[in-house]
Amino acid sequence: MKKITKKHLSQMSKVPRLNLVNCVTGYKSANLIGTVSTEGILNVAVFSSVTHLGSEPPLLGFILRPTTVPRDTYKNLKEMGYFTVNHITEEMIADAHHTSSSYDEHISEFDKTNLEPEFIDNLKVPFVKGSPVQLLCKYVNEYKIEENDCIHIIASIETIYADEKLFHEDNWMQLDRGNVIAINGLDGYAVPKLADRFHYARPDKPSTSML
């Protein structure tokens, strides 16, 4: 096994350190966040930090990098109050990755990629067409992470739109049925495949498969 200490990390140049530290916490969720500006310009960008925060009330959060450069997603969701979270599928990965490039706020990433906006229920905020799980989210709060100037955005899940074929009877969604991908590090995209699913774990009883 390789041993890498905090001292080694501090001596590394930027890219190898970024790569390494972004991999060590494991696979991350892969989402496209859709927003619209007050001028009506659509924005879409890839985020790997969207996480479940709680189900009652239904909340999610994501980490926003320091606002030392313009962050269109942040500006739009603060001004409009809403954004969408869209699972990335295998077919979308190159376009999804491309949304991380820093286009001017007047340019829509939807015009620079094959990703298509989808407008549902007369909402102004764009979803990503073909994404098997699409969430309408409302900005609730934010917390500054003092240690690195990142921002933890907290949002409520207002509406879930999801492909019927993902659902099991108990509302558990089997994401591999939708070819949903996961992010490996900063720029790697993986296609996870379900290995098993288990009944509720109880002390001293072996876990049993539900499948």
Ligand X SMILES: Cc1cc2nc3c(=O)[nH]c(=O)nc-3n(C[C@H](O)[C@H](O)[C@H](O)COP(=O)(O)O)c2cc1C
Q: What is the dihedral of CA 118, 122, 124, 125, to 10 degrees?
A: -50
Q: Looking at beta carbons only, is 8 or 91 nearer to ligand X?
A: 91
Chain residues binding ligand X by CB under 6 A are: 43, 45-49, 62-65, 71-73, 97, 100, 102, 183, 186-187
Nearest distance, CB of residue 130 and ligand X, angstroms: 19
Q: Nearest distance from residue 49's CB to ligand X, in Å? A: 3
Chain mean position to CA 197: 23
Task: Give 174's strand partners.
Answer: none
Which residues are paired to 152 by β-bridges? Answer: 63, 143
DSSP 170-201: TS-B-GGGGTB-EEETTTEEE-------BPPP
Distance CA 83, CA 155 (A): 9
CA 119 – CA 21 distance, rounded (Å)? 37
Cβ-based nearer residue to ligand X, 37 or 174: 37
| CB of residue 5 to ligand X, shortest distance in Å | 26
Closest Cα to residue 87, out of 37, 142, 14, 162? 162
We find the least distance from the C-beta atom of residue 71 to ligand X, in angstroms, to be: 5
61 vs 59: CA distance, rounded Å: 7
Residue 19, classed as helix, strand or coil, is: helix
The nearer residue to ligand X, 62 or 166, going by C-beta atoms, is: 62
Nearer CB in complex with ligand X: 97/112:
97
Shortest separation between residue 13's beta carbon and ligand X, angstroms: 19
- Provide the minimum distance between the beta carbon of 31 and ligand X in the complex, in angstroms, as a whole number: 9
**Within 13 A of 151's CA, how many CA atoms are on the CB side?**
17
